[in-house]
Structure 1
Amino acid sequence: MKTDAYPALPKKLITLLKYLGIIAALVLIYIIFHNGVAPFQHHLYAFILKAGIFGPMFFILFQIIQVVIPILPGGLSLSLGVLAFGSTWGFIYNYLGIVMGSIISFLLIRKFGKPLIQQLVSEKNYQKIMHYLDNKQRFTRFFALAILFPVAPDDLLCMVAGLSKMKLKTFTLIIILAKPFSIFAYGYGLTFLLQHI
């Protein structure tokens, strides 16, 4: 595994972004519950229309960044995609952003190794990552099954895969084939809950 030197990321900035993400998530949930899903969806859709082609591009870019540095809870960002673009295009944009973000995360960790992970995640999550690597022979099978289910810590697992001996081709195939199930479950599941609570 290659571990080239790289400029250390400002840990405080990453922590600040995560806290801002939590605050933004709470504000979004409050707005949705206070005004209702339909008005929120209407305003979101109007904003996307004004943005034109840049709306989907920005959202896909946001999802890419979201995989590498989680800003909002994953389920909430997936729901925003469905609310903003509808069921079909919301799923497609979510899928494109998350697949590309997962591959970028894998490649970054493959290049920079443990020092980068320690910049991106807490010590507790770092120890969890190292635990996943204990059984290297079965990791690929475990990774494929975990990505398939929506409750797995996908972002962490993509980082673990970058530390493992898994080939990029294998990783990409697993992400492309298994990701749609968890994206569908999270995106539509949380959207349904928001619309019926």
Structure 2
Amino acid sequence: MDKSKKLLISKISLVILGLLVIIPLLKHLPAILELTVSVDKFRDYIISTGKIGPLIFILFQILQTVIAPIPGEVIQLAGGYIYGVPLGTLYTTVGMLVGAGIAFFFTRLLGGNFIENLIKKKKFKWMTDIMGHKNFSIFLFIFFFIPGLPKDYLIYVAGLTTIKPLKFFGILIVSRLPWLLASVSVGASVFEKNYMSTIIISVIAGLAFILGLIYKDKLVNKFSD
């Protein structure tokens, strides 16, 4: 069997596998979103799953990375509350990397045309402007690092570029880990009733989020030149 036929079979297999996952996911998406709008609801649900709780938690983090509307902050805070900082950070990071891998390689192997058509819309036009820029890697790091900036969509966009996977995932983990750790730490501090740490981390994160929103357009313009 030649290489092109093997590639076609691989793509068809991936499409079938994707449909087997997406169809039930769409059916249960309203319930998933309802669970993840509240830290208390999500925490109680994960605890109720018992020994498989960590796997369910990681699955939710994967879904959050792949499906942007799911609020990541709720999941990360609950991770710290339930599992503490070391395990909460580990589970959150594993879920983020697996989810990012799904989004990145889906775009690179199968969904390039779909993502290209999506980002051609006016709302995402700025993403097309920076894809071929020589500073694309720097742009990715800054946007992944600063709270309040669109991150999950950029994973799909990165899949359209020639960036090497190892470099992409290196940028992702180095830029996202500090804020994942901060969110998990807040959840753990709430559980331990260490409210001073919670306030300090929340204020810093809130200021960074506001600054990100304020300077987003300036950053886009700078790296789009």
TM-score normalised by the chain length of structure 2: 0.62
Q: Map of 1:1-197 to 2, 5 A cutoff?
A: 6=15, 17-26=28-37, 28=38, 47=48, 50-51=50-51, 54-70=52-68, 72-117=70-115, 127-135=122-130, 136-137=132-133, 138-189=135-186
CA contact 1:147–1:182 (8 Å) conserved in 2: no
Once the two structures are TM-superposed, the CA of residue 160 in structure 1 deviates from its matched residue by 0.8
Q: Which runs of 5+ in 2 are unaligned?
A: 1-6, 200-225
Q: Return closer, same or farther for 1:127/1:18 CA change in 2, 3 Å cut-off.
A: farther
Q: Give the partner amino acid of 2:176.
A: K
CA contact 1:107–1:162 (8 Å) conserved in 2: yes
Query: What CA distance in whole angstroms lies between the structure 2 residues aligned with 1:18 and 1:63?
Result: 14
Which aligned segments of 4 or more residues in structure 1 are displaced greater than 3 angstroms?
A: 2-22, 43-48, 114-119, 123-130, 185-197
Once the two structures are TM-superposed, the CA of residue 106 in structure 1 deviates from its matched residue by 0.6
Q: When you count helix as a share of all residues, which structure comes out higher? A: 2
Q: Give the partner amino acid of 2:67.
A: I
Query: What CA distance in whole angstroms lies between the structure 2 residues aligned with 1:149 and 1:99?
Result: 18
- Say which is worse superposed, 15-24 or 84-93, in terms of deviation: 15-24
Aligned residues between the structures: 180
- Say which is worse superposed, 166-175 or 5-14, in terms of deviation: 5-14
Once the two structures are TM-superposed, the CA of residue 147 in structure 1 deviates from its matched residue by 1.1
Q: What's the % identity of the aligned pairs?
A: 24
Query: What CA distance in whole angstroms lies between the structure 1 residues aligned with 2:46 and 2:32?
Result: 21
CA contact 2:76–2:183 (8 Å) conserved in 1: yes
Q: Which has the larger radius of gyration?
A: 2
Q: Return closer, same or farther for 1:106/1:124 CA change in 2, 3 Å cut-off.
A: closer
Query: What CA distance in whole angstroms lies between the structure 2 residues aligned with 1:168 and 1:157?
Result: 14
Q: Which runs of 5+ in 1 are unaligned?
A: 33-39
Which structure would you say has the larger RCO, counting Cα contacts within 8 Å and 6 or more residues apart? 1
Once the two structures are TM-superposed, the CA of residue 158 in structure 1 deviates from its matched residue by 0.5
Q: Return closer, same or farther for 1:80/1:46 CA change in 2, 3 Å cut-off.
A: closer
Q: Give the partner amino acid of 2:178.
A: F
CA contact 1:150–1:185 (8 Å) conserved in 2: no
Query: What CA distance in whole angstroms lies between the structure 2 residues aligned with 1:61 and 1:46?
Result: 14
Q: Alpha-carbon deviations, 1:100-151, whole Å to 9, x = none?
A: 21122111111123455489xxx68965444212122222210011112232
- Say which is worse superposed, 146-155 or 84-93, in terms of deviation: 146-155
Query: What CA distance in whole angstroms lies between the structure 1 residues aligned with 2:69 and 2:162?
Result: 28
TM-score normalised by the chain length of structure 1: 0.70
Q: Give the partner amino acid of 1:100.
A: V
